[in-house]
């Protein structure tokens, strides 16, 4: 007997109630059967080769060929009823598929006590920065440069400050790597330029580990306050990548070329104390009093005359600006080509596939 629409709907609800993850293979089958049962043969354009997750889903659906909708519905119901009720992990949206759980992610901007605070707010992903977040930050800095706050502060929500560039920015781009690299270089250049141009004191409150671009960007800040549990890591070489955010210029200037080499080329991870000793961090606070001490200090600074602060910053930055634009442009061009190399693609693939989820 063929499964009715009601049986199908019950099976979909059952999938949502599964307590244990049935595994990627089963989830792919469920996904494919669900799509076939509701939409018929695969009608999506084939995803790019580096878009691993969507490609796997596409392959599974496409493999069902012209299987009739009714048969797919029956097979879906049979597969669900064969699953042990003690399995875990439900999914959201399309049944049987790991969808991104909606979370309030991205960045959060607040303004209070003369301070505009920009928070990396993606704690479940260690505040990894997505394409969307780069653009949100560009906009937030644009607004903060003319709002009535005196200073602007970056910090992270959760245990990390930020784990840097979201490594799936490139693997999930629909148009493939070349297009993603091109777009990435444009976004990165605009993003870093918005830090070069930012007119007010810019402060980082580094609440936890910082990786990649969230570290290199610190060279663009006017002060960096760190918890003693923060670490600073730029694993560019192991990712087949090269420095960004003008760090190829600012880091040797801040800490001397030898120390900059250890960080930017050899990927040495610094403790907060080491980063302070090398001049990257302004002051380190014990984790237990970090938030209280830093925000008390910042509220005091935010009461200083804003115009004087802005003009002083302009004087400090002025002679460097053209150099910074040029360095930024060159770093972006270099990265655009690095992102397409085997070294880089392999490194990203091995991160993405270390615990592949569908």
Ligand X SMILES: CCCCC/C=C/CC(=O)SCCNC(=O)CCNC(=O)[C@H](O)C(C)(C)COP(=O)(O)OP(=O)(O)OC[C@H]1O[C@@H](n2cnc3c(N)ncnc32)[C@H](O)[C@@H]1OP(=O)(O)O
Q: Where along the sequence are the contacts to ligand X (CB under 6 A)?
A: 125-126, 128, 131, 134, 163-169, 184, 187-188, 211-213, 235, 239, 241, 244, 351, 355
Contacts of residue 6, Cβ cutoff 8 Å, sequence gap at least 6: none
Which CB sits closer to ligand X, 105 or 244? 244
Nearer to ligand X, 40 or 235 (CB): 235
In whole angstroms, give the CA distance from residue 276 to residue 272: 6
Please say whether the dihedral angle defined by the alpha carbons of residues 225, 229, 230 and 231, taken in this order, is positive or negative.
positive
Q: How many CA atoms lie within 13 A of 136 on its CB side?
A: 14
The residue assigned the tokens 């009739």 is 68
Residues 6+ away with beta carbon under 8 Å from 324: 196, 246, 249
Nearer to ligand X, 94 or 293 (CB): 94
CB closest to ligand X, residue no: 212
Q: Which is nearer to ligand X, 9 or 266 (CB)?
A: 266
Please report which helix (H) or strand (E) contains residue 226, including its range.
Answer: strand 223-227
CB 149, min distance to ligand X, A: 26
Closest approach, Cβ 266 to ligand X, in A, equals 15
How many other C-beta atoms are found inside a 10 Å radius of the C-beta of residue 118?
21
Minimum separation from the CB atom of position 234 to ligand X (A) = 7
Residue 102's CB: how many other CB atoms inside 10 A? 8
Judged by beta carbon, residue 125 or residue 229, the one nearer ligand X is: 125
For the bound state, the minimum distance from the C-beta of residue 136 to ligand X, rounded and expressed in Å, comes to 12
CA 9, 11, 17, 23 torsion-angle sign: negative
The 10 Å CB-count burial string (b at 16+, else e) for 186-208 is ebbbebbbbbbebbbbbbbbbbb
168 phi, psi to nearest 5 deg = -90, 0
Give the nearer residue to ligand X in terms of CB position, either 75 or 165: 165
294 neighbors 285 (Cβ within 8 angstroms): yes
Please tell me whether residue 275 adopts helix, strand or coil conformation.
helix
Residue 96 or 164 having the CB closest to ligand X: 164
In whole angstroms, the minimum distance from the beta carbon of 7 to ligand X comes to 33
Closest approach of ligand X to the CB of residue 71, in Å: 34
Q: How far is the CB of 65 from ligand X (least distance, A)?
A: 32
Q: Of 105 and 166, which CB lies nearer to ligand X in the complex structure?
A: 166
* Shortest distance (Å) from residue 245 CB to ligand X: 8
Q: Which is nearer to ligand X, 55 or 338 (CB)?
A: 338
199 CA to centre of own chain: 25
- DSSP H helical ranges for the chain: 5-17, 24-39, 52-62, 69-82, 131-146, 168-171, 177-196, 213-216, 247-255, 257-264, 272-277, 287-301, 306-318, 321-338, 342-352
Q: Kindly state the smallest distance separating residue 191's Cβ from ligand X, in Å.
A: 6
């Amino acid at each position: 007997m063929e499964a009715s629409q009601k049986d199908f709907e019950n099976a979909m609800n059952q999938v949502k109630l599964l307590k244990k993850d049935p595994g990627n293979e089963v989830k792919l089958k469920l996904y494919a059967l669900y799509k076939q049962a509701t939409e018929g043969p695969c009608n999506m354009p084939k995803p790019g080769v580096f878009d691993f997750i969507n490609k796997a889903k596409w392959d599974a659906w496409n493999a069902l060929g012209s299987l009739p909708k009714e048969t797919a519905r029956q097979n879906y119901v049979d597969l669900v009823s064969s699953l042990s009720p003690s399995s875990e992990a439900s999914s959201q949206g399309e049944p049987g598929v790991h969808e991104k759980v909606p979370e309030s992610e991205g960045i959060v901007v607040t303004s209070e006590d003369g301070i505009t605070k920009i928070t990396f707010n993606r704690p479940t992903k260690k505040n990894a920065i997505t394409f969307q977040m780069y653009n949100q930050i560009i906009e937030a800095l644009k607004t903060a440069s003319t709002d009535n706050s005196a200073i602007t502060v970056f910090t992270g929500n959760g245990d990390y400050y930020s784990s840097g560039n979201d490594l799936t920015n490139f693997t999930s781009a629909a148009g493939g790597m070349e297009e993603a690299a091109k777009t990435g270089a444009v976004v990165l250049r605009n993003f870093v330029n918005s830090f070069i141009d930012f007119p007010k004191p810019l402060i980082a409150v580094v609440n936890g580990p910082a990786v990649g671009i969230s570290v290199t960007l610190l060279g663009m800040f006017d002060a960096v306050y760190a918890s003693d549990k923060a670490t600073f890591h730029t694993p560019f070489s192991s990712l087949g990548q090269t420095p960004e955010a003008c760090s190829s210029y600012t880091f040797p200037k801040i800490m001397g070329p030898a120390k900059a080499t250890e960080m930017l080329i050899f990927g040495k991870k610094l403790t907060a104390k080491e980063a302070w000793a090398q001049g990257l961090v302004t002051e380190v606070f014990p984790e237990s009093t970090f938030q209280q001490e830093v925000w008390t200090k910042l509220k005091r600074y935010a009461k200083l005359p804003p115009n004087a602060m802005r003009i002083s910053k302009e004087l400090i930055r002025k002679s460097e600006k053209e150099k910074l634009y040029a360095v930024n442009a060159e770093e972006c061009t270099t990265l655009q080509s690095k992102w397409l190399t085997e070294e880089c693609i392999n490194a990203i693939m091995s991160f993405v596939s270390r615990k592949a989820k569908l």
